[in-house]
Amino acid sequence: MEHSKKNSFLQNRLFRNLSIVFSENIVTKALSFIIILLLSVNLGPEDYGKYSYLFVNIAFCSALFDFGMENTAVRFSAKDKENTNVIFGLYLFTKLSIIFIVIGVVFFFGSFIFTLLGREDIIQYIPYFIIGFLGESLLFVNDTYLQAVQKFKLRAMINIFRYIFSLLFILLLYLNHAILLKYVIFLYLLPLLISVFFLSKYIYFLKSYFSKRIVRVMLLDIVHYEKWMLMVSIPNNTLGRIDFLMIAIWVAYDQLGIYNVAFQLSAIVAFLPFVLSKVMLPTLSELSPEKVVAFTKKILKPTLYISLGMLVLIPLARPVISLILGSKYLPSVSILQFMLLSAIIAFALIPIEQAIYSLGKPKFITIGKCVQIVLIVLLITVTVPYWGLIWAAISVAIARLLYGIILFRLYSSYTKKLSEAG
């Protein structure tokens, strides 16, 4: 009876948190859609391409140099709630060390790097890149802490506020006929301004870490787990925008703008895996391996049914782009359709992915992600220079499908051994 009540409580809490995060993302994606519409139409493909190039690189670097520590912090704080602040002190201290190293490299060698990439016109925006990277990196800490303590309402309010403020700023520019790249890039300051309100919490984290420290056994467990998370995060975050970063080698800014419009519109579906994973990890981390497998099995079938239903969104790409963005962005229709397919595959895989994280087997994901990266790089290299942008989206969809097959086989093999051992 007690076991049944506990499962019911976990399921109710999961559903409640899932509802909050889902609602938050519905609101933020709606606001983001309006922002994308205003920016893409008023900036035009070329300037929107420059904005996208900066935005993608800031987001890519802030995620890459987190090195998967957010998952490690959530997992171990869920298992040892009394030491949550100490664990986040370690996370923040490590994070700040990495941030200052990256900022130093960009400050001293940024001009050389962008010249080497053939993007000399981006050099003037290096200060905004640095500020954006610092702000986005600190938002990782804020967001991860609120996720770990399961304060999803506060997290939702902060994220919604960010998008409302961004929209108001863009609307102000629009009303004054001033939606120009030199003004729009001031949006990169917003994450840093939001993080100022967490300053007292940062100080408390660091004080907790340096005064109490972490017991040696737990620290070794954290290091061992983070070793695998590091190996997972590099391919995982590389996969996030490897297609964009690769096509940036060959195409002009207007083509980057067209491709990124499709990517941003695909976020209508792509946010669903993010929502599910944010809520599932802290919940599953509290369960034993046997209960993780049982819970995953229970939600896997409904997830697959929802994924199949989401396929009806693919034909809507053409009317959406035609009516809202106009003829300048029609080349993004086919790109968007394949991106939607990739997002649907990702959604279907979330229960298995989060179960693998909770079972402490991130190496399975590492294997799958590495195969995915190699395939994407090979496919894009041999197709995009000759057959165009659409093949970048096709390459990602093919690679993600293969990743899903690999992950399912590895998970099935492990759970079979777990069942036989039990």
The answer to whether the beta carbons of residues 406 and 367 sit under 8 Å apart is yes
pLDDT of 3 above 60 = no
pLDDT of 8 above 70 = no
Alpha carbons 229 and 242: distance in angstroms, whole number: 19
Alpha carbons 102 and 81: distance in angstroms, whole number: 31
Q: What angle do CA 341, 245, 94 make, to 5 degrees?
A: 100
Query: Do 152 and 275 belong to one domain?
Result: no
Alpha carbons 252 and 248: distance in angstroms, whole number: 7
Please report where in the chains the tokens 């954006």 appear, as a residue.
132
When pLDDT is cut at 50, 70 and 90, the band that residue 275 belongs to is: low
Query: Do 266 and 133 belong to one domain?
Result: no
Q: What angle do CA 21, 358, 5 make, to 5 degrees?
A: 70
Q: How many domains does the chain have?
A: 2
Query: Do 200 and 255 belong to one domain?
Result: no
Query: Do 260 and 362 belong to one domain?
Result: yes
381-404 pLDDT, tens digit per residue, is: 999 988 988 999 999 999 999 999
Q: Tell me which H or E stretch contains 410.
A: helix 390-421
pLDDT of 283 above 80 = no
Phi, psi (degrees; rounded to nearest 5) at 65: -85, 10
Query: Do 184 and 43 belong to one domain?
Result: yes
Tell me, what's the pLDDT at 4? 52
Q: Tell me which residue range forms the domain holding 43.
A: 19-214
Domain-embedded: residue 398: yes
Query: Do 420 and 300 belong to one domain?
Result: yes
231-244 pLDDT, tens digit per residue, is: 778 877 887 788 88
Query: Do 188 and 278 belong to one domain?
Result: no
Domain-embedded: residue 107: yes
When pLDDT is cut at 50, 70 and 90, the band that residue 282 belongs to is: low
Residues 6+ apart with CB under 8 A from 174: 38, 42
pLDDT of 324 above 60 = yes
Domain-embedded: residue 233: no
196-215 pLDDT, tens digit per residue, is: 999 999 999 899 888 887 77
Domain-embedded: residue 149: yes
Domain-embedded: residue 172: yes
Query: Do 284 and 160 belong to one domain?
Result: no
